[in-house]
Each structure stands twice: as structure tokens, then as C-alpha cells.
Amino acid sequence: MLASPGTASILLMLEGPSNTASAIQRLKEDIDKLTEEQAKALKLAIHVGMTPNKAQEYDNRRAKILRYVQDLKTLEGRKS
């Protein structure tokens, strides 16, 4: 899984078009994976509830998805 890139890392990824395309693809894959994990967590929570620890994991994934979406917007904006 791609670590949270942050602005400085994103700029390093922009050294070439193939690197940018690769970074965009990795971010999209990570967003998809995290979104699937969120859906599974919600389905399970409907039946058995959510412990405080699981709720924190859910919130952390949500925050990570939001960061990745922002990073993706930045990369795609610089690509065009």
C-alpha cells in the first residue's frame, strides 16, 4: 500500500509522466482497497456493532481516503 504521499512526496513523483501515471494508478488502487475495507466494516457493524478500536480504525481509513483523494486531485491537475 502506498504511504500517505503528502505534498512533498507528490512533487517528487512528478519527475516524469510515467512516474506520475504510476503514482495516480497506485493512489486509485489504494483508494479502492480502503473503500472496500470501509464497506466490509460497515456491513459487520450492522450485525455486531463496532468497538471503539474498530471505530478508530474506520475513522483512520476515512481520513486516509480523503488524503489520497486530495493527492490524486493534485497529481491529476498537474498531469493535464
Can you give the pTM of this predicted structure?
Answer: 0.76
How many whole angstroms separate alpha carbon 8 and alpha carbon 29?
Answer: 21
Instruction: Identify the CA nearest to 73 among candidates 19, 10, 15.
Output: 10
Helix axes 17-48, 52-79, angle to 10 degrees: 160
What mean pLDDT do residues 25-53 have?
96
Q: Is the pLDDT of residue 78 over 50?
A: yes
